[in-house]
Structure 1
């Protein structure tokens, strides 16, 4: 069948002015087919439209009609190839008959032309979404590089033998793809940025041996030539090797160890940015996993690296200046609101956060932005705008490059080219397209400015503005260039009552060994921070004491200049820091000890809204999902960070009166509970993986015993305070026969649970770089410190019924299960009720409780007549607690409801409801108990002991003593 005439070429959707030129192209194509004896068949639908949009496809058809017809008839234009399997098969088939390098180059270029025509066809006719186009282009590059590398490696091996390491293991080149190739988002006519590496040194095993590095340098040189060189058939890809260590001056190929050493010693910020997308695109992909692991610590810092903002801001400024110099203001990649700004937004958060959050260690910008929206790091609406703009810009970029297969990002200037681009993007004219493009780019630039605009930047154009003058003066004060008299005057104007003392402290910090040892970058960040920090003092009620606390913190964080960057880059965080440091020395010290927590100051909505128990569980899982659970050190650090973050949120909400005292204790108790639950689960999993699961036989049936943690005291009573330790008792329910674990390294169950308890204590109490989770006291277990660390439930009940002292039953009033096996928890609650409900001699009980309290007064009460200890002194919290405990033990046999709750306030409510204490007295004790606890929280946050003036709460204390005398004498 012969083709119709050029006049019958389908030109639907093609402007009239372009049709005659396309008919000439059709005639040229028919002539080329005739010269080669080809019979093409009818014009395919959409051919004229594709040729109109892409001179490259049209020229390919005329110059290579056989290849073009094979593509048209293959059916590949109608099929998506999401995984690239069909593409790889076609490449393998094309190289089957290659016998020399020249043939390899021809085959690669032929495949490139064929597949680029296929990709352009499907994209321009709307058959392929953007994601498919980018994936196809990436698969094509990977397939061609990989095929060329395999052929060249085999050819070099024939000459020199197989490269091997010292142990004789074969070595292969790893080709890292950078930029959009590494990110799986390659554009139509892109350079490919590559880095070459090989695992280990050694030499080849052939008759003409080479050191491995020399072998791989030759292999790399030939690979570049095969891909990059322009021949009569064109080129495969322009190859850029300048991103390798030391750039053009560096070796073409380096071993993994040499690469690691380079980035540790010489790596620069822009190289971190470049390596975010690095991915093995050819060669030894198995070894590449090890290489990525080596490079990850350089790319992703384990701390929050807010210095990345300044680095990327400077990088973008350089790009802008270069674009302006080259007249590329209309560049959709490098211009304001262009593709690069979208990438910078996403990758800034990766550089800052992905070291602590591996879920952000993604290569493609689209999944990164979506992840940022999920984590609420960027508002969802902003991410949607960025994604829409990115898709529009990338389609525009591809359509610009599909015209002539040229790497361009500049919008055309002539009317015909503009109309062609607009039509390819689905618009009727240039004006409509350009308005949409400008809207997208404006939105991108607005979001970019939101993320990257230098905070509290002095307006350089308004040199006379008061803000500029004040900032300049504060900078001079910090730098020591203001003169003493003026410096004292400025500090006095800021509201400081002791300006001379403040100036001395500032000078001590400036001249300290810490500051003198700073790098140039660190010093620059400190010099930017200090004027901002000083400027905040004028709005505070207590600027002198706040400055002291802030300077101690700055002294601590100065060597880790990323924290300086965090405060410089986030004025809201800096203002929150000043506010909290003014309000609470405890919070100031907490932040100074754990500067990682400064990140929590970025979002006041989260800072002053601590999560409930379910929210804490979710937050903990999100924290731990970022680390391998078999890495004990990382897990311990993450749990400590989790606790510190959550306690800070409670303290911040407390100090700002967002939470009442009962809620403060609830939140602190929940934090301890979810940590204990997780620690028990993790330690149990570790123990069972080593020794197997504990088993026993009870009445002929196999039973799987469990482990549980009982909380006493403040934890049991849901009354934890800041810095409270945990009173814990460990229980198991193993009994019967054959009580041992079922693993290869079997242990007796009692030994298994003893080790489990010891590991839980170690997990909670061990000091790491992130501090300690909790101080733990286990002396309330049966027989105290002399008893077993973990006891069976049966043994515990027997002890409570037959051996325990009265004070131990008092302690049991404030006990409850807080973690571990639910069956044991239920059994413990029932056992506790039985013990507390035993009939007792009321007079003897009263005497024992009274004598115990009197002994405590003598040993622990305040000796200062001018001070009142809210916890220990007569009329304080301990008196109320002892009365409550006495009443429970004296009456629970007749009022079982008294055993329901472990906290004093709800027990008092029950005592009131049962008439065991007058309503007026019960309400008074509840209010006073809450007031004392509230004051203790306040004093803790002010870093003061739980003592007040002797005249404070005089009436309340006297009435507590009166109720004590009425009840206990």
Structure 2
């Protein structure tokens, strides 16, 4: 090829080429072949390709080997555009075209549009049998490789139309249909080849039934083809055993033809794992054997797998007989008691099995991915399709259209689901097509991500990634909306008078009780009361009362779902079901907390046995620090030979104690102050135990560990922790620790922080050391003397303010107490703080609010909003900095305790103190109750009306009075803000 580079490299760079020097030479080389052709106009087509460099390289190589062919291609802009689209959009097809350039003729204007039944004839023409595969026997040893070549040529044709289409999402279903037509043809010819390889193949009738995406006519470029085999004797004189023996060989041979790798390439994998008994079952069964299995043994998911079944190849009559046999059973499964829970569990298992490193890149199986759309559509079909035959459509997008048309999904939601599904299918297709490899992952290479972005009309890889994440979030939201919507007829097994009605009447009853999704409620009720066991009988007796108690809580739907999960875990435990039956107050408590708190439901799923705490009043109060320390020490002692297991046990014990506190919070046995102290004591005991484990690990290795004191800071130091609070801390060692001792202490503390904060099944406890001297830039551990020297000479005003809430947290208490005593001069300045220091405090607070919230301080922010937690705490702390040096009563770490002391000392008026107290306590309660309701932390007053209503009911408001809560918070924040303006900002 020519090495000349007369084409300006700057122009090529602007056009999107990467290796511009090489590209310039290749442009000149190609241009030599077309001196009087379309001129440089062809370069614009190349520049528009997904990978311009790849497309140009392919063009140049093919020009060199087949110049006459390329002259024909360049004579037609349409043909050239399709060739360029393929060469730049698929590295695999680019390489194929370089080896087989003549196959590019299938992209000519005359041949490109051949579709439908012509696929089988075109594939057959390559094999020399253009009349089609039905009944054909091929014994040509070259036939399998010819079939692979024919398959690749048809992929070339399909990919060209797909890649050159201006709106690929609009044709994604058409592309999938064409790929399925190709798969049908290939399977037919693979079966013909297999017949030629197996002696006596004619003695058996064999039908290949397509399942999954193939059955639905929505294959990807590199899908596994899910199939099922049905066989019968071809004549009365052939035994069933003999026919099955031959049919199994033919089926296996046809699969090998498709999946084998040779010098001619490969086609795709044939997967028969969805057959009865899966991979452990026989590959081929008779129709009668299939019928027996599906009528007696098949699980719900197996019927769901049959929803898309259709005859694919082989004996069409036999294949249709199988589909006719299984179809009525498919459309009964939606009424099975456990259908919803089985389907949910199956979906959750799929997500849980995704490797962690791939979870955030999964287009198909990840949360908000293709499978979520497919599952949602299938659930609605299987439930409502029992009586509405208009929904019995195997393909996802047409089925979604039918659900929308007949009112089962809202038009807007259906449109968004359809758009999301098309978008994600295009991403999946493009990634599979580029290397012709089976993948469902978004690229992690920036260059590949940029290439994919070009293919779907995005400006950059980062823009594409953001667009995809928005789509997945939307799918997740919509999937949750429809996942529980169908009305199942599970209620017939219940004995309660209230629920022994027609499904419509039962739904009306549940709706009247306050269930917003009666369909989901009926499914759970049916599952809880199913069966003939004693447990099931007691559950049926309990359900009317449980439903009433659940309906009195903030979220009956959540309560019933959580109760269902708990009963699934504990139903075989005799004390559990007896306690629910015989001690009605325990069942009522369980109903109240489950309907109030997603957070508690999550804790219960980790350890259902903690429900026993609900049986006794004294179990629902915080344990003392001494009790917690003793329990933690016992846990550490039981696992002293296994540090990893010891830490796990510590975290498990912490989770049990979190359940105790949360349940007491919901049931009213624990007030706000007790909850703050309980959470703070629990954090201290947990860190103490983890510190003991880490210390023991070092000492077991012969390392001397100095004393380590953990100073509790922030809300932990003030015994005011919330459910979501980090443990703010700083660390001190004795003066004689030396550099080596400090290093050991840092190693011990790093292990403590890592093990307690690690993600896992137990709630993490984050230890935040940012309030230490010099903040994040300072050393993690200092000696006592170093601390004192720093605070004496170098500390800023904010560090003095942070010390106000410092107290003993964990570790060496004497060391911590000694440090805090020596820092009293900085915590409680004898002469108070100067005007300059007050100004500094105000500037810091203003900057913090501006950086975290912007110039507009919204009252919905419970922490940083006007009149929120930060306003109250900084106002009280300013009073302490000014006066604690001369007023000992102010030397306390809790915000409310210090506020009360300031009021008692006459430093703040009663009305002002009440305004600050009211706002702080209400904001703290709102944050805690929001965590209980949502199961996740938030500083924002909930905006979702259902969540706001739930929080309001937890705070004692009457149902339908959530607006009163919002009004009360607005009033409290406004009054507190006025006080803060005067006392903190000086009436700015």
Q: TM-score, normalised by structure 2?
A: 0.43
Larger-Rg structure: 1
Q: TM-score, normalised by structure 1?
A: 0.43
